[in-house]
């Protein structure tokens, strides 16, 4: 039976795990809290970067001898394999932990089995405490393991009537400084930030993280099929972060830095590049989460391909009445085919509203229809 103390400790572990967002790929974010028999916290830690110690090891180091006979709360099943660091299941055993509570089972076939190893060695093991919360906190990594492609978050900023620019294409700034600062947090949590050639041409965005101390800069990616939008001197090519300009295999890209050019096949149907191959190429480079920052044409292509895992819309109390909508054609022509979403959060950010939503699970088929 989970006690209030169990829940408090696991919630703290989930909070700790979130501190690793954006800097652990290709590894998951993980948090760990160790409590003694009286329920007092004797050690805690989180996985900070790939190749560095896992959360359990940080927490065990902090606990020292106090780990013996204590309980470890971990957001993800302790790993069972030797990668760049040793298996955490063994580290927990060696430290004399007597009970392990983890939230989510490890779906990675190479690392799973830590729970069984601990159980076989006589440790009390429980799974599933606050699993939904822990799963949400690790959604990017879990999705990438389960689907074999990066997690895709589409973000946009729009007026209350759903426009992302005015009729004359001016768009700075629809939302408030507070909302724009929040976008930098999303960038810091993502492994890669992606825009289409239309946005590169119109806005010349820099796409880096600004205003967050110690943030890991994401890989910046522009899909520019004909290598025509990103010119030498474009802000996205500055030195603050690595950049890839995805272009077609036959595009004339001699004006771009050689190591920034990613050649991809064109889409089999429709305009532009093959987005599946793009996601595969990014996944191969260790990218586990992609923040798609638009514009509407590219976002529409991702929605049409069924590759949007989460939507974050910043809505400003502003009306325009004309100008492009947040989402262009997504291959949906009738209301029965609309992509239904579940809202998971609404938050006021300065004068604006941030709405977070995920695709709704398909409705169960009703008999008799």
Ligand X SMILES: NC(=O)c1ccc[n+]([C@@H]2O[C@H](COP(=O)([O-])OP(=O)(O)OC[C@H]3O[C@@H](n4cnc5c(N)ncnc54)[C@H](OP(=O)(O)O)[C@@H]3O)[C@@H](O)[C@H]2O)c1
Contact flag: residue 176 with ligand X (CB under 6 A): no
CB 247, min distance to ligand X, A: 8
- Contact status: 112 vs ligand X (CB under 6 A): no
Q: How far is the CB of 275 from ligand X (least distance, A)?
A: 5
Binding of residue 273 to ligand X (CB under 6 A): yes
Among 275, 315, 316, 320, binds ligand X (CB under 6 A): 275
Q: Does 174 bind ligand X (CB under 6 A)?
A: yes
**Beta carbon nearer to ligand X, 89 or 229:** 229
| 220-239 residues near ligand X, rule: CB under 6 A | 223-226
Asked whether position 115 contacts ligand X by CB under 6 A, the answer is no
User: 30: which residues sit within 8 A by CB, 6+ positions away?
Assistant: 17, 20, 24, 46, 47, 54, 55, 56, 74, 75, 76, 138
Tokens of 353: 């509203």
Radius of gyration of the chain (CA): 23
Give the shortest CB-302-to-ligand X separation in angstroms. 8
b/e burial code for range 290-304 (CB count within 10 A of at least 16 → b): bbbbbbbbbbbbbbb
Residues in the chain: 369
Segment contacting ligand X by CB under 6 A, of 19-27, 35-43, 101-109, 197-205? 197-205
In 112-150, which positions are buried (b, 16+ CB within 10 angstroms) versus exposed (e)?
A: ebbbebbeeeebebbeebbeebbbebbbbbbbbbeeebb
Active-site entry in 56, 77, 189, 293: 56
Smallest separation (angstroms) from ligand X to the CB of 13: 34
Distance CA 60, CA 215 (A): 26
| Termini Cα distance of the chain | 43
Residues of span 316-345 touching ligand X by CB under 6 A: 328
Examine residue 183 and tell whether it contacts ligand X (CB under 6 A): no
> Which among 52, 97, 94, 100 is positioned nearest to 75, based on CA atoms?
100
Judged by CB under 6 A, which of 156, 189, 193, 236 binds ligand X?
156
- Cα–Cα distance for residue pair 17/141, rounded to 1 Å: 12
Of positions 17, 30, 67, 267, contacts ligand X by CB under 6 A: 267
Total binding residues for ligand X by CB under 6 A? 31
What is residue 273's DSSP assignment? B
| Residue 341: count of CB within 10 angstroms of its CB | 15
Query: For ligand X, which residue of 35, 197, 216, 289 counts as binding (CB under 6 A)?
Result: 197
Exactly one of 301, 327, 330, 349 binds ligand X (CB under 6 A); that residue is 301
Residue 56 annotated as catalytic: yes
Site residues (CB under 6 A) for ligand X?
156-157, 164-165, 169, 171, 174, 195-199, 202-203, 223-226, 267, 271-273, 275, 293-298, 301, 328
Active site residues: 56
């Amino acid at each position: 039976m989970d006690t209030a103390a169990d829940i408090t400790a696991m919630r703290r572990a989930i909070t700790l795990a979130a501190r690793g967002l954006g800097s652990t790929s290709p590894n998951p974010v993980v948090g760990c809290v160790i409590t003694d028999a009286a329920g007092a916290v004797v050690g805690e830690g989180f996985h900070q970067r790939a190749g560095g110690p896992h959360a359990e090891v940080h927490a065990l180091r902090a606990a020292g001898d106090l780990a013996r006979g204590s309980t470890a709360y971990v957001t993800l099943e302790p790993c069972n394999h030797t990668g760049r660091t040793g298996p955490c299941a063994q580290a927990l055993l060696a430290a004399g932990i007597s009970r392990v509570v983890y939230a989510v089972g490890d779906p990675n076939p190479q690392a799973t089995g830590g729970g069984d190893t601990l159980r076989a060695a006589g440790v009390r093991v429980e799974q599933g405490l606050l699993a939904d919360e822990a799963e949400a906190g690790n959604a990017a990594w879990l999705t990438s393991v389960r689907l074999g492609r990066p997690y895709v978050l589409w973000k946009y900023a729009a007026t209350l009537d759903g426009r992302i620019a005015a009729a004359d294409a001016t768009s700075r700034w629809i939302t408030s400084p507070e909302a724009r600062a929040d976008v930098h947090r999303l960038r810091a949590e993502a492994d890669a930030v992606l825009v289409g050639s239309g946005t590169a041409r119109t806005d010349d965005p820099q796409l880096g993280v600004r205003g967050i101390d110690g943030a890991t800069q994401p890989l910046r990616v522009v899909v520019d099929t004909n290598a025509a939008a990103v010119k030498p001197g474009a802000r996205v090519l500055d030195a603050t972060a690595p950049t890839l300009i995805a272009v077609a295999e036959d595009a004339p890209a001699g004006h771009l830095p050689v190591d920034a050019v990613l050649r991809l096949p064109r889409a089999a149907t429709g305009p532009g590049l093959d987005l599946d191959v793009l996601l595969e190429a990014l996944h191969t480079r260790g990218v586990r989460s992609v923040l798609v920052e638009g514009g509407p044409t590219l976002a529409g292509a991702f929605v049409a391909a069924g590759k949007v895992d989460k939507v974050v819309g910043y809505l400003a109390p502003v009306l325009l009445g004309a100008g492009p909508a947040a989402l262009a054609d997504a291959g949906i022509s009738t209301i029965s085919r609309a992509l239904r979403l579940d809202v998971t959060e609404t938050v006021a950010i300065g004068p604006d509203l941030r709405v977070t939503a995920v695709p709704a699970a398909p409705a169960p088929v009703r008999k008799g229809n």
